[in-house]
Structure formats: structure tokens, C-alpha cells
Amino acid sequence: MTAAQIDVVAVGNAIVDIIAPADDSLLTAEGLTKGGMQLVDAVRADALYAKMGAAHEASGGSAANTIAGLAALGRTCGFIGQVADDQFGKVFSHDMRAIGVEYTTQLRGEEPPTAQCLIFVTPDGQRTMNTFLGASQFLPAAALDKAMIERAAVLYLEGYLWDPEEPRAAMRAAIDIARAAGRKIAFTLSDTFVIARHGDDFRALLTEGLIDILFANDGEIRALMGTGDLEAAVSAAAALVPTLVVTKSEEGALAVHQGVRTDVAAQPVAKVVDTTGAGDLFAAGFLAGQAEGRSIADSLRMGAICAAEVISHYGPRPEADLKALVAAQLG
């Protein structure tokens, strides 16, 4: 095992977000579950887009947002995810490379188009996501940059991408590559709908000892462990993974690392504008803290600082100087 030359390589959906403010009445009329994510086909995406107000576009994708956060925190990163050969694919690729992220996945042709996520942001700052996966769901195992994964200290995987078949096979292959190279593997559960469909897979990954760091929010960890009781779920999950990180929105976050539990409060936010990317940026802060050799408590605090930044403005990626924000609070 050689020393890692990259801090984190992620495999995730490569998505362009289309973001607009919306009233709660629109969510109701369209039958959308506030705060959730649903997959939509092209026809439904067009219908929802027609109901959306004037929007703006920005690169997104859960693991990709985490990588953007890590890059903003000064870590070296790589990303693997599938876009199409279209304008949104060009936008996504540009935004990755512009922040210094190694991104070598080849474009896939014009159809289906690059993944798009229609995000309705209600006045309370909650985001409701409708994802058309397009090209993203066709990431083949052959697209994995094996050498890049081998060079990275941490492989970060997005649960969302476990749902479609080809990327699931690709992620299994990525796990094998990382394991063989002696690297750590971090996994984020992403959403309860993924757990409903693939919970058995996830629990198997944990019991087989293939995951080193598991990220979840409170709903996800309860769904994974099949209990409505958060504390019971945390205890059960913590027994299966060396490091468990659970975010609880405005209630803060916790980690259980080798049996030791640490809790931190949420970072205060003057006004929650758009919660898109909160969990993604929490993971970025935590992983950056670990890469810097910080304590679990300070790594959690870094996660909270990064999450607070991204929910204070529209869009899923950091805009302020995250390094400066962290330095001002944690030194």
C-alpha cells in the first residue's frame, strides 16, 4: 500500500440543479412530499418544469456537492459520474474542473441527456427535489478510473446511485478496487427511498466490514436499522461500522467512532434560504476534518460550519470561503 495522493474520490450522480422558489401550494397541487427527493421520468420532469417559476441553474449531485466542499476546504479530490454530451454535461464538467477536482469520466453521447434535478424551494428554506437521472444512471463499471481510486485515501459513495443497476455494479467494483489498495470507504445513505429498496444490500455491506464511515440523517439511520427510535438505531448501526455520522438538521449531529459517542450542536444560521446540499456539505466538512487529523468533535463541527454556509444561500455548493470560516471558529 502506497501513500495516498488524493484525499477523497467520490462516485456519484452528475446532476445539474434547476432551482426556483415555490409556494407550498404548488407542492400540494403536484403531490410532492416537502423535503424529499423523488425520481421522475422525462415526461414528468417536463410537466413539473412547466409549473416551475423562473429558475437558475447550478451544478449539483449529492456526492459531487460533497467533493466541491472538500475542494473548497483545500483537499485534493476526484469525481466519477456520468454526464451526456450536451450543454448541462459541459456545465457539470466545467464546474468540477474549475474547482480543481480530477474528473475523467468520458461523456456518453447525447441521449439520454445529463441528469437534472428540479428543486422547489419553499419560503421556509426547505428544498423538494425531483430528479431525472438521464445519463447519470448509465455509469458503467468500465468508466471507473481505477488508478484514481487506488490513489485516494477515501472512496466516497452515494446511496442514491445504488438504485440504478449499472452504477450499482460500478460502485461494487469501486469498493473492490479501494479495498485491494487498502483504502477507506465512506458511504452516504442519501434517502429513505433508497434504503427501502436496497436496505439489505447496505446492511450486508456493513456486516461484511466494507464500509469504514457511514453518513446518514436521523430518518435514514432509523430506516436502515428498522426502528423508529433514533438512539436504538444509532447503537445498532454503530456496532456495524467503525465510524458512524448522523446529522439531525437543526438538532445538530453525532458520531460514534470505535464505540465513543460525540454530539455537537448545529451551527446557528441567520436565515435558512435553501437547505439543498446541507447533508452533502456536512459530510465534506467531516471528511476534511478527518483528513486534517482533527478530532471527531472538531470534524463534526467542521461539518456543521459547512452545512450552515450552504443553507444560507440558494444553491447546493459553497459560495463563501469555507477555509476561512473554519479557521475563524476552530483555528
Q: Which residues bind a copy of itself (CB under 8 A)?
A: 18, 20, 49-50, 52-59, 68, 86-88, 91, 94-95, 98-99, 113-114, 315, 317
Helices (H) and strands (E) in the chain, counts: 12, 14
The residue (of 100 and 182) whose beta carbon lies closer to a copy of itself is 100
Task: Please tell me whether residue 208 adopts helix, strand or coil conformation.
Answer: coil
CB of 209 to a copy of itself, least distance (A): 37
Closest alpha carbon to 187 in 168, 197, 196: 168
Instruction: Decide: 243 and 288 in contact? Cβ < 8 Å.
Output: no
Distances (CA, A) of 23 to 46, 47, 125, 174: 19, 17, 11, 41
CB of 231 to a copy of itself, least distance (A): 40
How far apart are alpha carbons 317 and 68 in whole angstroms? Answer: 7
The residue (of 118 and 241) whose beta carbon lies closer to a copy of itself is 118
CB of 116 to a copy of itself, least distance (A): 9
CB of 58 to a copy of itself, least distance (A): 4
The residue (of 7 and 95) whose beta carbon lies closer to a copy of itself is 95
CB of 20 to a copy of itself, least distance (A): 8
Residues facing residue 96 across a β-bridge? none
The residue (of 50 and 196) whose beta carbon lies closer to a copy of itself is 50
Half-sphere exposure of 94 (CA within 13 A, CB side): 10
Instruction: Decide: 315 and 17 in contact? Cβ < 8 Å.
Output: yes
CB of 136 to a copy of itself, least distance (A): 15
Alpha helices in the chain (DSSP H): 24-30, 42-51, 62-72, 87-98, 146-151, 165-180, 192-207, 218-225, 230-238, 278-291, 296-310, 322-330
Angle between helices 165-180 and 192-207 (to 10 degrees): 30
The residue (of 58 and 223) whose beta carbon lies closer to a copy of itself is 58
The residue (of 86 and 150) whose beta carbon lies closer to a copy of itself is 86
